[in-house]
Amino acid sequence: MLRLVRTTSENADFCALVQLLDRDLAERDGAEHGFYAQYNKLDLIRHAVVAYLDDQPAGCGAFKEFEPGAVEIKRMYVRPERRQQGVARAVLGELETWAAELGYAMAMLETGKRQPEAIALYQRSGYALTPNYGQYVGVENSVCMRKQLVG
């Protein structure tokens, strides 16, 4: 059974999952990982979701305000043995619902070309490619996307 918990970056299960995410990204991104790591600090994340399958932490995600009216989806991860079970889609949906409840109209995100499964998830979930924004402008590996939220 899948259970979603709204929490913050102080949640121990969220922190443990993010450590696994960072290891995965370091392998995928190689030397570029340091660039991305500087923008993925856990401090001040007040909106995080942890997914539990059979009461075990299976995946996570979070959002931060990007600008008034828009959030940036961050720190999406699902343990390899829990993939293809709807965890990522459920976490993403919960993050979008939570952001809309708080009055946000847009969700944006950045992922990498070396994460084709993430790109596919976001496209299936209604995200459209958008020009790279902020610190990702001119970064060849970055893929930026956005979606209008229904409030």
CATH at residue 131: 3.40.630.30
Per the structure, the count of domains in the chain is 1
End-to-end CA distance of the chain: 27
CA distances 117 to 9, 70, 123, 138, Å, are 24, 24, 10, 22
- The pLDDT, as a whole number, for residue 25 is 81
- Please check whether residue 106 is in contact with residue 146, taking contact to mean a CB–CB distance below 8 angstroms: yes
- The pLDDT, as a whole number, for residue 44 is 74
- The pLDDT, as a whole number, for residue 84 is 94
Total-model pTM = 0.90
Rounded mean pLDDT of the chain? 90
- Provide the domain limits for residue 114: 2-148
- The pLDDT, as a whole number, for residue 33 is 47
- The pLDDT, as a whole number, for residue 43 is 62
Mean pLDDT in residue range 104-111: 97
Q: How many CA atoms lie within 13 A of 49 on its CB side?
A: 27
Mean pLDDT in residue range 1-7: 97
Our CA angle for 130, 118, 36, nearest 5°, is 70
CB count in 10 Å sphere of residue 66:
19
26 pLDDT more than 90: no
